[in-house]
Structure 1
């Protein structure tokens, strides 16, 4: 097996490992662009990701040159990388000197980049588009088909890893919120018992008193309940 095939398999294994082990997104994507730059017919690589606010941001890059081009596109609001994210389709530019009609603002800056061609692959899973993997070349021409297919496969694996991590984080957040809600309910029930016993009320009456205290002081019900249970508040 050739060294290049070994590298490709190693990259796949590294990305796949992230789907079961704890990982840092930036570290993962930095590994991806570095491997892509070594594996494929590209002199540099970079990744744009959609931020939580919906803005595109440069997240990793193998060189200042590629980061510069990506930043140019964000500034211009147009270009192959931006279009790949917007459309969810691969955008391959075989000659960056011939893009003035398509992206006039971007073309003016691209001429100073030193790159000759660019291949932008959307990081997409079904309807979710989270960014783009961008391969920069120092000579004109399209990326050869085997490289294009392999690069897309790596981008797909990274996309699945990132989306899976987001689901896990959301699940952990939801579980934490649920646990806090359950804990609060336990404290509220305890507070109702304290108030019912001390004021000679039934549980409904005790709860109405606690809720009235929370509303009048604009304090969360769980906080009022905790203060009652710990003796910091008497109602």
Structure 2
């Protein structure tokens, strides 16, 4: 039978289309960032990815991750305010560590945490537009090595698309509501984490797998991810249906 798997060029085009779909009034930052981290792992030579944004009060918040290990590492970086991702936000420039074991002396605690989480390479890509830096897209590898030029450029381009989407929606908002918009996003993350925990306990599975089931169910039913998560917390969602729902890889 002929191989109908999409080519890399088709995957890239579909990713940009998926991210462009966020440029609508009904903007869901949690869904957008989830798409971003999932797609960069699919398209680039990396093992995991995460997004950290700067909150209104200047604190760093982990907003999305492709795996539990990536989330733990980024949370550690945010709490200690050290690591390639933090340096990237401060400098508004890419920061690369091709081998954390040999180059980790720049961030000793982060280097130890990265190796404990199973990562050897870190590539931090700024989410910025001109003089505004919103956060960082962190690309993680389990093996040492640098990103290819093509992967580096594609990673930056995807980060730029999401940055523009966030800034556009901020610009539409009244100036007094800009900070509140990001706070809503932070609150959304808490809702998703609670729903993920409920599903993980119910299905006796990892938090990563529980989130994947939640996200796939929301997409297949064309429901907002955050609305479904709230239904899970409120007890009005069919948990077993969500947990047993088959993943349609063609929709990814």
- Normalising by the residue count of structure 1, what TM-score does the alignment of the two structures yield? 0.70
Residue in 2 that maps onto 1:91: 95
Partner residue of 2:138 out of 134, 137, 140: 134
CA offsets 1:131-158 (integer angstroms, 9 cap, x no match): 0011111111001110110110010010
Partner residue of 2:118 out of 110, 114, 118: 114
Residue in 2 that maps onto 1:40: 44
Whole-Å separation in 2 of the counterparts to 1:134 and 1:173: 28
Partner residue of 1:58 out of 40, 57, 62: 62
Structure 1 residue 2: deviation in Å?
5.8
- Structure 1: 5+ residue stretches without partners: 175-235
Whole-Å separation in 2 of the counterparts to 1:101 and 1:61: 25
In structure 2, the residue corresponding to 1:32 is in which secondary structure? helix
1:124 aligns with 2:131: no
1:82 aligns with 2:80: no
Structure 2 CA distance for partners of 1:135 and 1:128, relative to 1, 3 Å? same
1:168 aligns with 2:172: yes
Q: Which moved more, 1:107-116 or 1:87-96?
A: 107-116
1:16 aligns with 2:20: yes
Structure 2 CA distance for partners of 1:100 and 1:94, relative to 1, 3 Å? closer
Whole-Å separation in 2 of the counterparts to 1:11 and 1:150: 11
- Structure 2: 5+ residue stretches without partners: 179-252
In structure 2, the residue corresponding to 1:107 is in which secondary structure? helix
Query: Number of matched residues?
Result: 174
Whole-Å separation in 2 of the counterparts to 1:136 and 1:104: 17
1:143 aligns with 2:147: yes
CA offsets 1:53-94 (integer angstroms, 9 cap, x no match): 111110000100101111121222110011111100001110
CA offsets 1:155-200 (integer angstroms, 9 cap, x no match): 00100000111111226969xxxxxxxxxxxxxxxxxxxxxxxxxx
Q: Which has the larger radius of gyration?
A: 1
CA offsets 1:205-228 (integer angstroms, 9 cap, x no match): xxxxxxxxxxxxxxxxxxxxxxxx
Whole-Å separation in 2 of the counterparts to 1:111 and 1:80: 14
Residue in 1 that maps onto 2:107: 103
- Normalising by the residue count of structure 2, what TM-score does the alignment of the two structures yield? 0.65
Q: Which moved more, 1:70-79 or 1:99-108?
A: 99-108
1:25 aligns with 2:29: yes
Structure 2 CA distance for partners of 1:74 and 1:171, relative to 1, 3 Å? closer
CA RMSD of aligned residues (A): 1.9
Whole-Å separation in 2 of the counterparts to 1:128 and 1:119: 20
Residue in 2 that maps onto 1:67: 71
Structure 1 residue 99: deviation in Å?
3.1
Residue in 1 that maps onto 2:246: none
